Structure 1
Amino acid sequence: MMLMSAAPDFGSMNPLVESLKETGIVEVAQHGWDRQGLIPLWFGEGDLPTPSFITEAAADAMRRGETFYTDQRGILDLRKEIAAYMNRTFDIALDTDRVSLTTGGMSSLAMAMQMILAPGNEVLVVGPIWPNIYSTVEINGGVSTHVSLSLRDDDWHLDMDALFAAVTDKTKAIFVNSPGNPTGWMIEQEQQQQILDFARERGIWIIADEVYHQLVFDRDVAPSFLQIAEDDDRLFVINSFSKSWMMTGWRLGWLTHPAALGPTVAKLVQIVTSGVPQFLHRGAIAAMRDGDQVIADLRARCLKGRDIVFDRLDAWPRISSARPKAAFYAFFTVDGMDDSVDACKQIIDTCNVGLAPGSAFGPSGEGYLRLCYASAPERLTAAMDALEGMLGGPKA
């Protein structure tokens, strides 16, 4: 007879780490990961690989022997390329010393929190929002507070009075993700200016996640806080190579910060990752130098995908949502649904389609589902056909 062994006792572990919860997105993905023929629309990535000119640039660098340690904040050639990209994209004058390469947008976010948070500090988060934001605050001993966007008149809206009223004497930063995941909400420059003015008066940091700035459908690029901020404002802007250049698996991003914090960023990079592999820098340079058409093609693909998905959702009486102006997600309510994790599991079992539960995106997310439409039209049409039987019927 086999005896069950007791769980190992590792003694006292870091309670901040122990208290972190796995996201509902991962729970749902684990439920359906190995399903034959499942259409996975639960994660924030498309179905196209990284373009070959980017991968070849990295491979060529590897063959040349660029496999050694490198500058912790990124080689100067790449940092110059990032600054040039930002300057032509946003019509600004960003200095190279304000840019640091990171191992993905998540690393940029983690370092921003590490630099400014002390135990008990609050970060005011505009949600619904990608769940790792909350975890990053908590693991640094901070407290997340929350202001929710509201869905009305077929669009998402931020109540500025509610945002400012939620600030306390413990608030260290305001976190804004625009264009937003999961809603596709996009803040306009007027509201950015209001937030910046408010933050300046109170000595509060702004952490702006702008990774979807190129994936917009009604203009060339989304507004950036960098277009209105001074060089020494208390502002972090997070960006990533993942979305616009289809480089999710590369884990490359960059952080824009006050120049004086460059040495601090380098110190944190050294402690956590020791920097991005040297040869990957060359792929990133190729993406920024020669990738404008890649971005344009992806934007067109996502626009087509958005309309395929929303033409169907808009016709289903149980569904309420807003056709987004940016990013590549449909975030929609389903009449009668009160447990989005359970609903996603049922959708996997019944429709063989993987969606993300709204409850993963913060206090205002329950009752919603998220679908990533950065995929081929054929895949999206097949997914909507499969979902129609479960989601497309009449209201209860």
Structure 2
Amino acid sequence: MRNPLSKVVTELKPSGIRKFFDIVSEMPDAISLGVGEPDFDTPWHICDEGIYSLEKGRTFYTSNSGLIELRSEICNWYKKKYGCNYDPKKECLITVGGSEGIDVALRALINPGDEVIIPEPSYVSYVPCTLLAGGKPVIINLKNENEFKLTAEELSAAITDKTKVLILSYPNNPTGAIMTKEELIPIAKLAVEKDIIVISDEIYSELTYGDEGHFSIAALPGMAERTIVVNGFSKAYAMTGWRLGYALAPEMIAVQMTKIHQFAIMCAPTTSQYAAINAIKEGDKDIANMRESYDKRRKFLLKQFEVMGLPCFEPHGAFYVFPSISKFGMSSEEFCTELLRKEKLAVVPGSAFGECGEGFVRISYAYSIDELREAISRIEHFISELNA
């Protein structure tokens, strides 16, 4: 029998996050700070709405694009928050998590050989989804001294006559970096000038700390018609297992994304959609409470890193810190492997998020403060031995 497998698929590298998660799941007394998942339960009023929808027999397919009431609430929310105007009937698609939104956006846009610019460190799915769509990933290695923010100079240097898409991911996973309106303006100008489509992954938009807040590049002049916003309910509302996201896009693109979604998925889970309507209507207080808790944990970790001499820029978004471990003369994977073996503590190598993540580790603070205190104690002990 000849090899039946796709060469593109077999050559994809497995996720560097899952490796450590799988090991720690079989290790007694181990602590994992590796998974990007809120430790909060989904707020009860959201769960209750999902249960009510089941009790009422709302268990049938919705339209391919999703419940119109949910799409309307999402579009109203983006208008209120960022001044972005989207037609819920033509420019909004409900997806199975934000990840599906990224996948169908790339498949709707890419012809074989089109180049997709991906600033790294970044979420692990961007490169594989680009390859699966037939595109060519073009990596920009972001710099620690710039707090891993994309500059117009870096973007300009990466653009060629084959460039079609730029993927932006702010607030960023794994670094926690954000980009302000002023920092996004030159990026938007280049996108307009060079006719580039932007996929803006805004899944952590509600988790920012300080006065700046999140700003959507879609709100800048000339960007609404060339931006696909991907967002969802997983992070902001602690609804990861409900698997619900959405994409906002110009009608011409949204129609094609919906076509792919129609054939591959049919529609997002009906129960989750009803729950999400309640979340977006009544969940602002829940977001504020969770954000306040994350902020306290963020400040705790940064203070502890300072005490132990572990360099780390201050992240203002998501729920990750990205400290440098390069001074120990170990690769990120070696550091994480030894930390897990000796201290039973799992964090993720920065190299899992791109080559420029080498020398860093991603630590999630979507865990209780007690777990974080114990984790810090284990890191301190591990580092003291390395310094001995």
Report the TM range for the smaller structure's normalisation: over 0.9
2:337 corresponds to which residue?
Answer: 345
Q: Is the 8 A contact 1:338 1:366 kept in 2?
A: no
- Map of 1:98 onto structure 2: 91
Return 209-218 or 86-95, whichever deviates more: 86-95
Between Structure 1 and Structure 2, the one with more helix by share is 2
Q: TM-score, normalised by structure 2?
A: 0.95
Q: Which amino acid aligns with 1:324?
A: P
CA distance in 2, matches of 1:204, 1:395: 48
Gaps of 5+ in 1: 1-8
Q: Which residue pairs with 1:53 in the alignment?
A: 45
- The answer to whether the 8 Å contact 1:358/1:369 transfers is yes
Listed one character per residue, the Cα deviations across residues 337-391 of structure 1 (whole Å, up to 9, x for unaligned) are 4322232222122222221111110120111110100222111111111211013
| 1:83 has 2:78 as partner | no
Is the counterpart of residue 306 in structure 1 residue 306 in structure 2?
no
Cα distance in 1 for partners of 2:299, 2:183 equals 28
Match of 1:333 among 321, 324, 333: 324
Mapped to 2, the partners of 1:337 and 1:272 lie a distance apart of: 46
Match of 1:6 in 2: none
**Alpha-carbon shift at residue 286 of structure 1 (Å):** 0.8
In structure 1, the residue matched to 2:166 is: 174
Partner of 1:5: none
The Cα of 1:329 is off from its aligned counterpart by: 0.3
Match of 1:148 in 2: 141
1:152 is paired with a residue whose SS is helix
Deviation at 1:164, TM superposition (A): 0.7
Q: How far apart are 1:46 and its partner, in Å?
A: 2.2
Aligned to 1:322: 313
1:288 correspondence with 2:288 = no
Runs of 4+ in structure 1 displaced over 6 angstroms?
none
Quote the Cα distance in structure 2 between the aligned partners of 1:314 and 1:394.
17
Partner of 1:110: 103
Letter in 2 for 1:331: F
Corresponding residue to 1:189 among 178, 181, 195: 181
- Contact map agreement 1:101 1:253 (CA 8 A) in 2: yes
In 1, Cα distance between the equivalents of 2:151 and 2:82? 26
State yes or no: 1:219 paired with 2:211.
yes
Distance 1:345 1:143, change over 3 A: same
| Structure 1 position 205 matched with structure 2 position 197 | yes
Alpha-carbon offset, residue 91 of structure 1: 3.3
Q: Secondary structure at the match of 1:191?
A: helix
**Pair 1:10–1:101, CA change in 2 (3 A):** farther
State TM-score, norm by structure 1. 0.93
Change beyond 3 A, Cα 1:198–1:235: same
**May I ask how many residue pairs the two structures share in their alignment?**
386
Give the counterpart letter for 1:325 in structure 2: H
Contact 1:232 1:259 in 2 (8 A): no
Q: Which runs of 5+ in 2 are unaligned?
A: none
C-alpha root-mean-square deviation of aligned residues, in Å?
1.8
